[in-house]
């Protein structure tokens, strides 16, 4: 045990490096950047709750696409019983009309490229 000092120093350096992300955030005192969304909506509620839409909106849109294209079903019944037309252009973009300030901001932040716009055209009056 002639290298006791080196071993202790190595353990301290290792612990500092492994816990760096934790104490850096505690000392920094602020969360990472999150985008600010401009929600311009005529409606007070989306087709589902905000929490649900943040977590599962892409799954919902994929389910809508499959229901409309494969099954010919065009009406969505929300969890609260309200009925909506399954349409990205006519339902979603009616409320979230500024694609650049709503959709694109979040998708750019999480670095995803949705394929919605391969088929859908942004209606006139919506900003790209």
Kindly report, residue by residue over 54-101, the tens digit of the pLDDT: 889 989 999 999 999 999 999 999 988 999 999 887 888 877 877 788
Length of the chain: 128
Q: Is 127 helix (H, G, I), strand (E, B) or coil?
A: coil
Q: How much is the average pLDDT of 23-33?
A: 72
Burial of 95 from C-beta contacts in 10 A (0-12 / 13-18 / 19+): middle
Task: Note the pTM of the prediction, 2 decimals.
Answer: 0.64
Residue 29's region, left for phi above 0, alpha for psi from -120 to 50, else beta, is left
The fraction of the chain above a pLDDT of 90, given in percent, is: 26
**In DSSP terms, which residues pair with 85 in a beta bridge?**
75
How sure is the predictor about 21, in pLDDT bands with cuts at 50, 70 and 90? confident
Distance CA 32, CA 69 (A): 40
């Amino acid at each position: 045990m002639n290298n006791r000092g080196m071993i202790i120093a190595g353990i301290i350096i290792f612990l500092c490096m492994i816990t760096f992300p934790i104490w850096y955030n505690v000392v920094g005192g602020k969360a990472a950047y999150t985008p600010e969304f401009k929600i311009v909506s005529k409606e007070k509620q989306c087709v589902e709750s905000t929490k649900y839409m943040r977590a599962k909106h892409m799954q919902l849109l994929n389910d809508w696409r499959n229901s409309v294209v494969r099954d010919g079903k065009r009406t969505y019944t929300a969890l609260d019983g309200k009925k909506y037309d399954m349409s990205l252009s006519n339902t979603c973009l009616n409320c979230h009309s500024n694609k650049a300030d709503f959709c694109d901001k979040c998708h750019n932040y999480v670095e995803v490229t949705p394929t919605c716009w391969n088929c859908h055209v942004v209606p006139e009056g919506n900003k790209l």
